Amino acid sequence: MSTNTSREYHPGKVVTISCENPEETFRVAKSIHEQLVGNEDYINNEIVLHFSDKDDIANGEPDRVWLYISADVKSMPDITIKLVDKENTEDGKQEN
């Protein structure tokens, strides 16, 4: 006898971040991922991180990061995004 362990997803919030280029998209996604590692809701897929792949690009949504947050999250995470623009500063560090 098999047991179905899938559960129903309850939509909550979707955060979409538009980036300038693929490198920035990756940096933003990586920053968010690093902050969510160890978060129980992230581990249990109540929070899902996705960034533009070839299908998204083909659908006209390049350079985007999506954070899907289920209505069932136990606690809403605090996420800080810090981007560094190396070309516009003397020391290579400028917060955006």
Residue 1 lies in a domain: no
Strand 64-69 relative to strand 13-18, pairing: antiparallel
- The number of distinct structural domains making up the chain is 1
pLDDT > 70? residue 6: no
Residue 8 lies in a domain: no
- By residue range, what is the domain housing residue 48? 13-88
- pTM for the full predicted model: 0.74
Give per-residue pLDDT as tens, 19-49: 999 999 999 999 999 999 999 999 999 999 9
> Beta strands of 19-69 (E only): which ranges?
47-51, 64-69
Six-digit token pair at 44?
């249990």
Q: What is the pLDDT of residue 96?
A: 43
Q: What is the distance between the alpha carbons of residues 63 and 29, in angstroms, rounded to a whole number?
A: 10
pLDDT > 90? residue 5: no
Residue 95 lies in a domain: no
CB 87 within 8 A of CB 48: no
